[in-house]
Amino acid sequence: MNMRTEHEIHNRRRGRNVGVGLMLGAFVILVMVLTFVKITQTDFTKAMGAPAPQSQESN
């Protein structure tokens, strides 16, 4: 029985898996950068200065 550890199909699969991995990594980085931009663009001072929501009083 001829069993090779490295076969052409392994290389092809590796190429595909690396591609998917890189795309997922890029997506994670994009979401991180987008979150950073959204947070720094938002004016939180205004929100903190706004009147606090009335809490419900329990009887």
Binding site for other proteins (CB under 8 A): 1-3, 7-9, 12-13, 15-16, 19-20, 30, 33-34, 37-38, 41
Q: Residue 53 is encoded by which pair of tokens? A: 């929501």
Q: Nearest distance from residue 3's CB to other proteins, in Å? A: 7
Q: Of 41 and 58, which CB lies nearer to other proteins in the complex structure?
A: 41
Please identify which residue in the block is written with the tokens 């663009």.
Answer: 41
DSSP 1-40: ----SS-HHHHHHHHHHHHHHHHHHHHHHHHHHHHHHHHH
Q: Of 19 and 25, which CB lies nearer to other proteins in the complex structure?
A: 19
